[in-house]
């Protein structure tokens, strides 16, 4: 494991979620002496929703998740760390089906209520025998904390990433705990990112899916570390219903707004944490685009800036090189007019109406760039479309991690 | 200047081109003691063609080039190094117009026959007084070699990049010399790339444009260093006509094929040289995509692979991590079927029909990856579309150059 990211955030005080019990064990998918198999047992009637990678070459796990999500209920989550099982053909599929069957038999549930994720190297079939022995061990293990579970789903992560929120729904207090792994191969349509949100709220599966999809658009799909999109990305939300509220089904149900806000907050926190653990990250960068012709256009412009190696290296060098921001806007392929552009760092405009501002004073901007949290603002000057995206800088650390990584 | 790229190629033995005379001088656009102003005087009747960046935020120079190309004739090329004059509003435009007027007055030609390019930092208006004094000096300078001119147009380049070719047209031998600068901000729609091709052949301007545009599609638009696209990219071709052949106007003219092939060869050589001087490059990577649903689809898949930071760092680490190639194919957004994909390094297939080949032997591939020239092949298995693109690896050198660069 690399040194902890300088942008790390302490794991929150995450309460137990009634009806969701995490356990961990050593399946030894790699030659390491750490827990790498996570099992979260979910009580009967748990609703599930999910979003997955758009990468065409997705893993069997992702395909199965999509299929099983149609059922809307879950009894178990299994996460394998150290092997993504992606691009492993029929051998990989056999391994996942064996896991599903073994867990379903253990719980006496339908196979379609067992959700499996795997993360790690691509192209090596998940060893069935190790998974089988690991499952036997994890079934007998004592329940663990959310932080221990988070460490177990991690691979190249440098710190455990979690988020909590709560809301009052129908007079009952409901809790949400989110955990996530991922630090590289992070891009618009999700990431080498496995995220799981657990709540004791009672929520109809279809409504939970609506809420998660909406939040996903403004959180997980607005982050990028390196523009690369994983074949395994998955975020699942599980609602056990143990809080005892009347199940949420519609936006105008009592407490639906509060629950939606809490869920959104957890998604946003988790998304930011992934960027804060971006491979080699030394700076957390927020890019706010306004004045675009539409929100979608603003999003694409923001992502063009966030994915530009030249912008990201400039920030790494604490250089207010706004010319590179101009370049990135220009290559986004979206409507823009050079002579209407305005660019700021933090709240200081450096360029307006297509050229450097007359009063340009680099000192406060240089001071801002020395910090850990960098804000870039871009006004396109054409309309009212807006979007905010997040990324990190591109450093020697990214190269070191990725020119050496391999199981 | 950084250490010379390990992929550098020696400047060729470039002959004089009758009717095209290069001269250089010190305008001192930056605080450096080197020539940074290039002037190539072209004889009357020189035909010109060109291709420019698609970056919306292009420089005044690029806008003027596009306008002047409509005239089809050129008498002078001016290249300023050290300041791109991009995103400098009316001040930048004034500086370029002053240069155009001064050169036109000197030569007694139309302003629309004067082509100006500038390269370097964005956002700082080109200093008019330095340009004026520089032009006075360069008008009086002795003619120089193509290699000296190439060094003068360069900025972060680590070696002088040139290419030569010749052809027999209408019984006359015609010569072509190409020179180019650029090493970063290189992407599909051209690069921080300024390229100039000079020939003594007589070629109709419209026909020259057709040939250049066609070659551009398969050469300059098939290279990428970092996916970033410059605001100043320009490639111009000048045909002085001094070889005395009957001017080429149509594809079935005698010698048209030979000239087109020579021009294409120069373009391809120049494009490869830019990649070989990619910032921090230690490996030259050729990516050949076959079996796509169309050539355009193959091109986009190739570029997704060539722009993937994870693929590029894997090659830097001499790691045959074909899983990252799969990931990049999957994120390209083009038709692909995971279970039909095949991937090779050099001529060794590592994966076929969606999983690793049974006889996979990493030794010969590891040996290939230790070399300077890396070949990746991808067969999509769906159609007959094909494309070849070129890139370099992503190394610590790229970070060092770009986290520190600034005028």
Closest CA relative to residue B261, chosen from B276, B244, B274, B248: B248
Contact B208/B49 with Cβ under 8 angstroms?
yes
Contact A52/B330 with Cβ under 8 angstroms?
no
Q: At what angle do helices B396-404 and A396-404 cross, to 10 degrees?
A: 170
A184 pLDDT band (50/70/90 cuts)? Answer: low
Q: How far apart are CA A330 and CA A376, in angstroms?
A: 16
B134 pLDDT band (50/70/90 cuts)? Answer: very high
A404 to chain B: which residues are within 8 Å by CB? Answer: 317
Contact B115/B98 with Cβ under 8 angstroms?
no
- Is A88 an active-site residue? no
Spot the catalytic one: B52, B150, B192, B199.
B192
Asked whether the ipTM of the predicted complex exceeds the cut of 0.90, the reply is no
Specify the pLDDT at position A189: 37
Does B86 contact A326 at a Cβ distance shorter than 8 Å? yes
What residue spans of B113-245 are helical by DSSP H? 128-140, 146-153, 205-218
Q: How many helices (H) and strands (E) does chain A have?
A: 11, 15
The dihedrals phi and psi of A271, each to the nearest 5 degrees, come to -60, -45
| Percent of chain A scoring above 90 in pLDDT | 72
The mean pLDDT value for A225-251 works out to 87
Calculate the average pLDDT of chain A.
Answer: 91
Q: List the single residue in A with minimal CA-CA distance to B308.
A: A228
Interface test with A, best of B121, B228, B314 (most A CBs within 10 A): B228
Residue B168 token pair: 């027999």
Q: Is the pLDDT of residue A89 over 90?
A: no
**pLDDT tens-digit series, residues B325-366:** 988 998 888 999 888 999 999 999 999 987 888 887 888 999
A278 pLDDT band (50/70/90 cuts)? Answer: confident
**pLDDT tens-digit series, residues B197-211:** 999 999 999 999 999
Look-up of token digits 């120079």: B61
Fold for the domain defined by A20-276: 3.60.70
Specify the pLDDT at position A225: 77
| Percent of chain B scoring above 90 in pLDDT | 72
The dihedrals phi and psi of B376, each to the nearest 5 degrees, come to -115, 135
**pLDDT tens-digit series, residues B142-177:** 999 999 999 999 988 899 999 999 999 989 999 999
- Give kind and range of the element (H or E) at residue A150: helix A146-153
Specify the pLDDT at position A280: 87
Specify the pLDDT at position A190: 37
CA distances, B371 to each of B275, B365, B367 (Å): 16, 10, 7
B187 pLDDT band (50/70/90 cuts)? Answer: very low
The mean pLDDT value for A109-120 works out to 95
Fold for the domain defined by B284-404: Ubiquitin-like (UB roll) (3.10.20)
Does B331 contact A184 at a Cβ distance shorter than 8 Å? no
Q: How far apart are CA A315 and CA A369, in angstroms?
A: 7
What is the distance in angstroms between the Cα of B279 and the nearest Cα belonging to chain A? Answer: 11
Q: Is the pLDDT of residue B188 over 50?
A: no
What is the distance in angstroms between the Cα of B123 and the nearest Cα belonging to chain A? Answer: 6
For the stretch A165-189, what's the b/e string if a residue is b when 16 or more beta carbons lie within 10 angstroms of its beta carbon? bbbebbeeebbbbbbbbbbbbbbbb
Residue A32 token pair: 């390491």
Specify the pLDDT at position B404: 65
Does B336 contact A404 at a Cβ distance shorter than 8 Å? no
Q: Is the pLDDT of residue A120 over 90?
A: no
Q: How far apart are CA B25 and CA B152, in angstroms?
A: 8
Specify the pLDDT at position A229: 64
The dihedral region occupied by B248, where left means phi > 0, alpha psi between -120 and 50, and beta the remainder, is beta
Task: Using CA atoms of B330, B332, B336, B341 in order, give the dihedral in degrees to the nearest 10.
Answer: -60
Contact A6/A280 with Cβ under 8 angstroms?
no
Per-domain residue ranges for chain A? 20-276, 284-404
Contact of A39 with chain B, judged by CB distance below 8 Å, is answered with: no
Q: Is the pLDDT of residue A405 over 70?
A: no
The dihedrals phi and psi of B253, each to the nearest 5 degrees, come to -65, 150
**pLDDT tens-digit series, residues B68-127:** 999 999 999 999 999 888 888 888 999 999 999 999 999 999 999 999 999 987 788 899
The mean pLDDT value for A266-270 works out to 96
Interface test with A, best of B188, B230, B309 (most A CBs within 10 A): B309
A39 pLDDT band (50/70/90 cuts)? Answer: very high
The mean pLDDT value for A256-272 works out to 96
Q: Is the pLDDT of residue A158 over 80?
A: yes
């Amino acid at each position: 494991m690399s040194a902890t990211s300088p942008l790390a955030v302490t794991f929150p005080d995450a309460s137990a979620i009634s009806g969701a019990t995490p356990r961990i064990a050593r399946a030894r998918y790699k030659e390491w002496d750490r827990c790498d198999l996570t099992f979260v047992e979910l009580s009967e009637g748990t609703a599930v929703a999910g979003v997955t990678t758009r990468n065409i070459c997705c893993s069997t796990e992702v395909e199965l998740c999509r299929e099983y999500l149609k059922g809307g209920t879950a009894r178990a989550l299994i996460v394998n760390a150290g092997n993504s099982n992606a691009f492993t053909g029929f051998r990989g599929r056999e391994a996942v089906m064996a896991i599903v069957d073994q867990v379903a038999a253990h719980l006496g549930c339908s196979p379609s209520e067992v959700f499996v994720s795997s993360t790690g190297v691509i192209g090596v079939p998940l060893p069935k025998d190790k998974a089988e022995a690991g499952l036997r061990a994890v079934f007998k293990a004592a329940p663990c904390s959310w932080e221990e579970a988070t460490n177990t789903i991690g691979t190249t992560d440098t710190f455990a990433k979690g988020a909590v929120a709560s809301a009052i729904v129908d007079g009952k207090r409901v809790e949400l705990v989110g955990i996530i792994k991922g630090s590289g191969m992070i891009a618009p349509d999700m990431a080498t990112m496995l995220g799981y949100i657990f709540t004791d709220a009672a929520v109809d599966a279809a409504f939970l899916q609506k809420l998660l999809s909406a939040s996903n658009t403004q959180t997980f799909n607005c982050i990028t570390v390196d523009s690369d999109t994983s074949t395994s990305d998955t975020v699942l939300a599980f609602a056990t219903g143990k809080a005892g509220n009347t199940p949420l089904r519609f936006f105008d149900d009592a407490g639906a707004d509060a629950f939606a806000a809490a869920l959104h907050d957890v998604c946003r926190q988790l998304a930011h944490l992934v960027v804060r653990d971006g491979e080699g990250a030394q700076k957390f960068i927020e890019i706010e685009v306004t004045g675009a012709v539409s929100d979608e256009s603003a999003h694409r412009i923001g992502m063009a800036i966030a994915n530009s190696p030249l912008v990201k290296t400039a920030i790494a060098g604490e250089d207010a090189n706004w010319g590179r921001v101009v370049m990135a806007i220009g290559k986004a392929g979206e409507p823009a007019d050079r002579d209407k552009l305005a660019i700021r760092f933090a709240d200081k405009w450096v360029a307006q109406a297509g050229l450097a501002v007359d009063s340009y004073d680099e000192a406060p901007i240089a001071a801002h760039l020395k910090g850990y949290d960098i804000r870039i603002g871009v006004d396109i000057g054409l309309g009212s479309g807006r979007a905010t995206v997040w990324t990190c800088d591109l450093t020697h650390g990214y190269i070191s991690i990725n020119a050496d990584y391999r199981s």
